[in-house]
Amino acid sequence: MLALEHANAALRRLAEELTELGASRMPTERALADRLQTSRTTVRKALELLENDGTIRRVRGRSGGAYLTKVQLQDAASQTARPLCSGRGVLRSLNTVKGIPEILHEQGFRDGTTVIRSGLVPAPSTVREALHLSSDEFVVSLLRLRHADGDTLSLERMFLRTEVAEVLSTEMKSIYRTLGSQFGVQICAADESIEMAAISQSEGVLLGLPAATPVLKLRRVGYDQHGRALEYSVDLFRADRTRLHVRSQSSPSTDSGPSFVQPAAGIGSKPARYRS
């Protein structure tokens, strides 16, 4: 009983401290047991007491936990969330087509590229589908590590059609620039999907991050000036160094209602989903 009373008093103090800090969730039962040097059974019973008097609300399941009920709504508002990219991050716009070296130069970063692996490989099924290739075709494969001011920024796996296989004989630092200057090919548009992902141990070794660290995972299909799918890439961007920017715009309604001033040429046109 003394152990339960001690745990209940300690957890109540912790709940008050976390509430003052604006935190919304108590640590896990295991973390609390380690902190109080007691059993998880005792912690569980102490949490039940806090739940009974309305101090916490417990949610079951994988994403569950003990949530504080007295945290003010403004403290839990989305604008108070601490961004992972809290320092000087690289702003990656999704409205224009630019290579990473160009983006870094424009923002005052010193760029760097390490080519880890390059060559011709049989096209994986996802690449064949994206580039509309037959089952027996090969593709150019590049695995590169990008740096900004000497620190890792992203790990990029790029696949290209073999028509531009001569890029393998270049320094392979800026593929977009090389395609334009040496092959007359421009990547003019791209379809991209973005999601959060946890890196593997091998990816973490290259990026200098622990395994399972969250990153921004971008899948991209790049199209040349003739509208042909030429590139398929999967990029892993460090979430603590990258910010995304996209401009969305809807067309004025054609229904009867207030009239709109026609925008000047080049202003208000709806941008395609481009790669930066």
- Distance in angstroms between the alpha carbons of the first and the last residue of the chain: 62
Q: How far apart are CA 106 and CA 98, in angstroms?
A: 11
Which among 25, 29, 32 has a CA at the least distance from the CA of 67? 25
pLDDT at 78: 55
pLDDT beneath 50: ranges in the chain: 73-76, 259-276
* Torsions phi, psi for 137 (to 5 deg): -85, 155
137, two tokens: 């075709």
Q: Where are the alpha helices (DSSP H) in the chain?
A: 2-21, 29-36, 40-52, 100-106, 125-131, 175-183, 201-207
pLDDT at 86: 63
pLDDT at 3: 85
Q: How far apart are CA 276 and CA 269, in angstroms?
A: 18
Which among 247, 241, 197 has a CA at the least distance from the CA of 219? 197
The 3-state DSSP class for residue 116 equals: strand
**pLDDT 10s digits, 217-238:** 999 999 999 999 999 999 999 9
CB 234 within 8 A of CB 159: no
Is the model's pTM score more than 0.75? no
Domains of the chain: 1-68 (1.10.10.10), 90-245 (3.40.1410.10)
**pLDDT 10s digits, 82-132:** 777 766 688 888 888 888 999 998 989 889 999 999 999 999 999 999 999
pLDDT at 260: 42
* Torsions phi, psi for 159 (to 5 deg): -125, 135
52, two tokens: 């009974």
Q: How far apart are CA 111 and CA 38, in angstroms?
A: 51
Helix axes 2-21, 29-36, angle to 10 degrees: 120
pLDDT at 80: 60
